[in-house]
A and B are shown apart, each in its own frame.
Chain A
Amino acid sequence: MSDQQARKPAQPLQAGSIALPMIPWGIAAVLLCILPFIFTNNSAITIMNQMAITIIFALAYNMLLGQGGMLSFGHAVYAGVGGFACMHIINSGDFFSGLPLPVLPIFGGLVGMWLAIIVGAFSTRKAGTVFAMISLGVGELIAACSVIIVVFFGGEEGVSGDRTYGLPFFGVEFLQQIEVYYLIAFWLMLSAILMYLYSRTPMGRMANAVRDNPERAEFLGYSARWVRFYSFVASGFFAGIAGALFAINYEILTEENLNTTQSGIILLVTFLGGVGFFFGPILGAIVFTLVQTVLSLQTELWGFYLGIIFVATVMFFPGGLAGLIMMHVPALRLGKLGRLGVPYLKTLLPAAIGALGAAALVEMIFHVRHAPNGDQEMTLFWTTFDSHTILPWGIATLVTVVGFGIMRATAPALVEAWNEANTPDGMSE
């Protein structure tokens, strides 16, 4: 959060509240267009494609979790089955060769929706644990079926195809990653806008109402069950679109698109980003994809770090990243955000350094325990050293202790500054 933003008076934000929703969308659209010119290599585009697909899926998932209050442990199946269906369309020969590829996601969405209609018919009668458990059961069932029903799911090796056999779309055959990127980016914008608008419709509003108080909603004339059902179906539709884009991007679908791990990941992504705000899952998807693809290139222990981040998020920031950011809005409105800058720097910088030190310790312990005997050399933060000597351990411990020590010492000042920055409203957190 820059100082410049902080010093802006609060009025324009409120006065322009009708125009405001357009601005982030515009920025996002422009960004999506120019990103490939900044990151030109194919792996960056691959990562961005993955990110975009995850964003759509996470947003679809949040239609359930965030907006509808329904916790699903098997949502991967709607994306997965949608994707499998698209794979079969791609392999269908004649039909596909008369179909421009960019239209394909609609079919994925429809299939995802169709499955959601079937499952939702009995699973949305109740929210809470019953819904969660049915979603888990159905998820496990369909995932298990994927190796049994080979005709549709292709067994363990999955179903693959070639997207380029579709009808050329204004001469584009989608041979290159970059062409696929723009296809996905288009669908990302479209789905995100549609999902955002959906949350502003009577259905979207009532989904919130049913989430907060299903009984009251019933006494307003709405059947909680039908509201949940429609949310579920809509979510299934967008999940199916994500699945279709997956099919286009990777040209293969396998059991892992359906299994509980995938469902768990999307829950993790959404919650990490923050279920309370529309843009939360977007943040979550970006951060998660980066952690998964970039951090896993750097360290074997990425899953461990991710686990810690996740548990810490649930414990300390149940609003997720988005909640964390939005916590600052009151201070921003009061024009006092700038006052947090220095205390933040004083606390968070040492904390970050301490965390890096702790990570170094973890890496060293891991190296000593699991590296092959005789292999004592390890490289950490661009430094190569012998993990069996005392010096690096001393340095890492020192950095950790000092980092966290300073953090502890400066934390009260930060809390004070925080309260001060939020006082006039009398609302902290």
Chain B
Amino acid sequence: MRKSITLGVAAALTLSVSSFSVAADTIKIAFIDPLSGPFAGTGVNGLHQYEFAAEELVNKKGGVLGGDMFEIVAFDNKISPKESLIQLQVAIDQGIRYIAQGNSSGVANALTEAIDKHNRRNPEDRVLFLNYSAVDPALTNDKCNFWHFRFDANADIKMDALTDVIAEDTGITKVYIIGQDYSFGKAVAAAAVRFIGEKRPDIEIVGNELHPIGKVKDFTPYSRKIMAAETDAIITGNWGADMLGLGKSVLENGYEGPIFTYYAAADGITAAFGETGEGSLRLVAEGQINPPASDAAAAYYESFKAKYPDGNISQARITNVIEMLAKAIEEAGTATDVVPVAYALEGMEHESLWGGSVKMREVDHQLIQDVHIHAHTGDDITFDYDNSGFGIKVENTVTMAAMDSPTTCNMRRP
């Protein structure tokens, strides 16, 4: 009896192992993000953006190192740190040297530590971590390491840009800060308080609170409180259902001022806000979608839409990840040894497809780039989100945001 079971296990394991054959002329990038469960929508859309960018920006141009093609290999981490570590191991076993991940700073924290340990313990098959979305400032501060590169602006940088805009608006004298009760929500709140205090000490912070993440069924009580505080603006780091719930609830209950936020676009959220969000929602993000930065950007977006009519380019930075990685591999002359690739990435300057130039800061591996404040609107939208007729349009731009911002990163280099 026991024997027959083990035979089954053996069969299953060999099955999983047999699919790990590595073709010689491809450079694989492991995409470890949620492809099932509640956040699968975001994950799948991100995967499409990666696949499209690899195809369009590298493979169609003849690949790297004289013909090596990029291949994106998808791993479903179910947005769980534990699953991510398992999938990381599987990816490494497949000979993959580049790990891309973005959704959830919790997962990113787990991965960056695991990769650091792995590279220390297994110098013969080191890997790089291309973080394209996790914005917890700690990743490029206390928890930074040589193998981690962040292509998104971190929460502090974004808040810096956001508060620049708030500071210029003299109509705002009261703000209400609300966020999810976890590291990112707290980081947003702390940054908001700090920057507002520096830039506009006269602004009164009439509310600063956290709510349980992903658990609030009805945001009405929070909106009542916000209304009662008679605030001029709301700042929130909420994402996903919490963003939608909070936003819709305050707007329905009579709030008319601006809502400054990080993640209130695409993945169904733009469509769900629709008309109600017009005039209120302000998003801080890199990557200019509307108006298109250049003809090339517009053409890129159009061909993406032709391939994925239901998709959105909601993480424009993914093109930077792919292009800069390709450049770094060319420069290093190898794709298998990640150390020279990492050194090539450090300090690299790059012209983004979406306009402006970007620079990977050596000291903490944080990409310095233009950060835009977008408005959620239905007017003058070239590329809408969720096919809803609504999209985000650049209102303000902070060039090379937070270029000289301090970092506590103390990196050990091999």
Contact present between A and B (CB < 8 A): yes
A39 to B20, CA, bound (A): 13
Q: B-side binding surface: helix, strand, loop or mixed?
A: helix
A interface footprint on B1-32 (CB within 8 Å = 1, 0 otherwise)? 11111100110110111011000000000000
A42 contacts B106, C-beta separation under 8 Å:
no
A254-B106, A372-B48 as given contacts; A297 in contact with B19, CB under 8 Å: yes
Chain B residue nearest in CB terms to A154: B183
B36 contacts A147, C-beta separation under 8 Å:
no
Tally A residues with Cβ within 8 Å of B: 51
A297-B90, A372-B308 as given contacts; A283 in contact with B5, CB under 8 Å: yes
B86 contacts A46, C-beta separation under 8 Å:
yes
Q: How near does chain B come to A43, taking the closest CB pair, in angstroms?
A: 4
Any A CB within 8 A of the CB of B114: yes
B15 contacts A294, C-beta separation under 8 Å:
yes
Across-interface contacts of A158 in B (CB, < 8 A): 81, 106, 109-110
A23-31, A56-64, A311-319, A406-414 - the one binding chain B: A23-31
Across-interface contacts of A41 in B (CB, < 8 A): 17, 20, 93
Q: Give the tally of cross-chain contacts (CB within 8 A).
A: 137
A42-B89, A256-B82, A297-B19 as given contacts; A47 in contact with B76, CB under 8 Å: no
A1-B1, A43-B89, A290-B9 as given contacts; A155 in contact with B81, CB under 8 Å: no
A256-B80, A290-B9 as given contacts; A157 in contact with B86, CB under 8 Å: no
A147 contacts B110, C-beta separation under 8 Å:
no
A1 to B4, CA, bound (A): 7
- Find B92's partner among A42, A175, A297 (CB 8 Å cutoff): A42
What band does the interface of chain B fall in when counting residues whose beta carbon is under 8 Å from A?
A: 35 or more
B309 contacts A254, C-beta separation under 8 Å:
no
B interface footprint on A1-28 (CB within 8 Å = 1, 0 otherwise)? 1100000000000000000000010011
Most buried by A among B9, B12, B308: B9
- Find A144's partner among B2, B89, B212 (CB 8 Å cutoff): B212
Across-interface contacts of A155 in B (CB, < 8 A): 182-183, 186
B121 contacts A157, C-beta separation under 8 Å:
no
Chain A residue nearest in CB terms to B85: A250
Across-interface contacts of B13 in A (CB, < 8 A): 39, 44, 47, 290, 294
A144 to B17, CA, bound (A): 38
Any B CB within 8 A of the CB of A386: no
B10 contacts A38, C-beta separation under 8 Å:
yes
- Find B136's partner among A2, A144, A157, A373 (CB 8 Å cutoff): A157
Q: How near does chain B come to A145, taking the closest CB pair, in angstroms?
A: 11
Most buried by B among A38, A158, A164, A296: A296
Q: How near does chain A come to B46, taking the closest CB pair, in angstroms?
A: 13
Q: How near does chain B come to A26, taking the closest CB pair, in angstroms?
A: 11
Q: How near does chain A come to B13, taking the closest CB pair, in angstroms?
A: 5
Q: How near does chain A come to B241, taking the closest CB pair, in angstroms?
A: 16
Give residues 274-295 of A contacting B (CB, 8 Å). 283, 286, 290, 293-294
Across-interface contacts of A256 in B (CB, < 8 A): 80-82
Most buried by B among A24, A44, A375: A44
A290 to B78, CA, bound (A): 16
A322 to B9, CA, bound (A): 16
A24 contacts B2, C-beta separation under 8 Å:
yes
A157 contacts B36, C-beta separation under 8 Å:
no
Across-interface contacts of A38 in B (CB, < 8 A): 10
Q: How near does chain A come to B403, taking the closest CB pair, in angstroms?
A: 27
A46 contacts B76, C-beta separation under 8 Å:
no
Give residues 80-100 of B contacting A (CB, 8 Å). 80-82, 85-86, 89-90, 92-93
Most buried by A among B75, B113, B215: B113
A28 contacts B2, C-beta separation under 8 Å:
yes
Any A CB within 8 A of the CB of B61: no
B85 contacts A252, C-beta separation under 8 Å:
yes
A156-B182, A250-B82, A251-B117 as given contacts; A27 in contact with B5, CB under 8 Å: no
Any B CB within 8 A of the CB of A148: yes
A147-B212, A373-B308 as given contacts; A42 in contact with B85, CB under 8 Å: no
- Find B9's partner among A28, A286, A375 (CB 8 Å cutoff): A286
Across-interface contacts of A202 in B (CB, < 8 A): none
Across-interface contacts of A42 in B (CB, < 8 A): 89, 92-93
- Find B36's partner among A144, A246, A257, A296 (CB 8 Å cutoff): A296
**Given A39-B10, A255-B106, A293-B16, 19 further pairs, Cβ under 8 A:** A1-B4, A31-B2, A39-B17, A41-B20, A41-B93, A42-B89, A42-B92, A43-B86, A43-B93, A46-B85, A144-B215, A158-B110, A162-B117, A256-B81, A286-B5, A296-B78, A372-B48, A372-B309, A374-B306
**The 6 A-B residue pairs with the shortest CB-CB distance in the complex, in nearest-first order:** A156-B182, A43-B93, A43-B90, A46-B89, A372-B308, A373-B309
Residues on A facing B (Cβ under 8 Å): 1-2, 24, 27-28, 31, 38-39, 41-44, 46-47, 50, 144, 147-148, 155-158, 160, 162, 164, 175-177, 246, 250-252, 254-257, 283, 286, 290, 293-294, 296-297, 300, 302-303, 325, 372-375
